[in-house]
Amino acid sequence: MSQKVHIFDTTLRDGEQVPGCQLTTREKIEVALELESLGVDIIEAGFPISSPGDFNSVVEIAKAVKEPVVCGLSRCKKEDIDAAAAALKFARRKRIHTGIGASDMHIKNKFNSTRERILEQAVWAVKYARNLVDDVEFYAEDAGRADLDFLCQLTEAVIGAGATVVNIPDTTGYCLPELYGKRIKYVFDHVRNVDQATISVHCHNDLGLATANTLAGITNGARQVEVTINGIGERAGNTSLEEIAMILKVHKDLGYETNIQTQKIYPISRLVAELMHMPVQANKAIVGKHAFAHSSGIHQDGFLKNPENYEIINPNDVGVPNSSIILSARSGRAALRHRLELLGYSFGKTEMDGVYERFLTVADTRKVVENEDLVELLTLMRVERPG
Please report, as ranges, the residues that interact with Zn ion according to CB under 5 A.
14
Q: Find the binder of ligand KIV among 94, 95, 145, 202 (CB under 6 A).
A: 202
To Zn ion, the closest distance from the beta carbon of 222 in angstroms equals 15
Is the separation of the CB atoms in 67 and 36 below 8 Å?
yes
94 or 204, CB closer to Zn ion?
204
Query: 3-state class of 96 per DSSP?
Result: strand
Q: Is 103 in the site for ligand KIV (CB under 6 A)?
A: no
Angle between helices 349-363 and 333-342 (to 10 degrees): 100
- Of 164-172, 239-247, 258-266, 310-318, the segment contacting ligand KIV by CB under 6 A is 164-172
To Zn ion, the closest distance from the beta carbon of 170 in angstroms equals 9
Q: Is 200 in the site for ligand KIV (CB under 6 A)?
A: no
**141 is in the binding site of which of ligand KIV, Zn ion, none (Cβ under 5 to 8 A by kind)?**
ligand KIV
In angstroms, the Cα distances linking 277 to 11, 187, 232, 270 are 14, 39, 11, 10
Length, in residues, of the chain: 387
Q: Is 171 in the site for ligand KIV (CB under 6 A)?
A: yes
Our separate counts of H helices and E strands in the chain read: 14, 12
Q: Is 331 in the site for ligand KIV (CB under 6 A)?
A: no
Q: Is 139 in the site for ligand KIV (CB under 6 A)?
A: yes
Taking residue 97's Cβ as centre, other Cβ atoms within 10 Å add up to 26
Q: Is 106 in the site for ligand KIV (CB under 6 A)?
A: no
DSSP 201-230: EEBB-TTS-HHHHHHHHHHTT--EEEEBGG
Binding mask 204-243 for ligand KIV (x = CB under 6 A): x---------------------------------------
42 or 374, CB closer to ligand KIV?
42
Residues 6 or more apart whose CB falls under 8 angstroms from that of 91 comprise 62, 63, 65, 69, 70
To Zn ion, the closest distance from the beta carbon of 203 in angstroms equals 8
Q: Find the binder of ligand KIV among 80, 135, 141, 301 (CB under 6 A).
A: 141
To ligand KIV, the closest distance from the beta carbon of 11 in angstroms equals 12
- Of 52-60, 111-119, 163-171, 208-216, the segment contacting ligand KIV by CB under 6 A is 163-171
Q: Is 68 in the site for ligand KIV (CB under 6 A)?
A: no
Q: Of 172, 255, 179, 252, nearest to 213 (Cα)?
A: 179
Is the separation of the CB atoms in 226 and 194 below 8 Å?
no
Which runs of consecutive H residues, i.e. helices, occur in the chain? Answer: 25-38, 52-64, 78-87, 104-109, 115-130, 148-160, 177-190, 210-219, 241-250, 265-275, 297-305, 333-342, 349-363, 371-380
169 or 315, CB closer to ligand KIV?
169
Residues 6 or more apart whose CB falls under 8 angstroms from that of 134 comprise 164
Q: Is 9 in the site for ligand KIV (CB under 6 A)?
A: no
Binding mask 11-40 for ligand KIV (x = CB under 6 A): ---x--------------------------
Q: How far apart are the first and last CA of the chain?
A: 56
To Zn ion, the closest distance from the beta carbon of 192 in angstroms equals 28
Q: Which residues bind ligand KIV (CB under 6 A)?
A: 14, 139, 141, 167, 169, 171, 202, 204
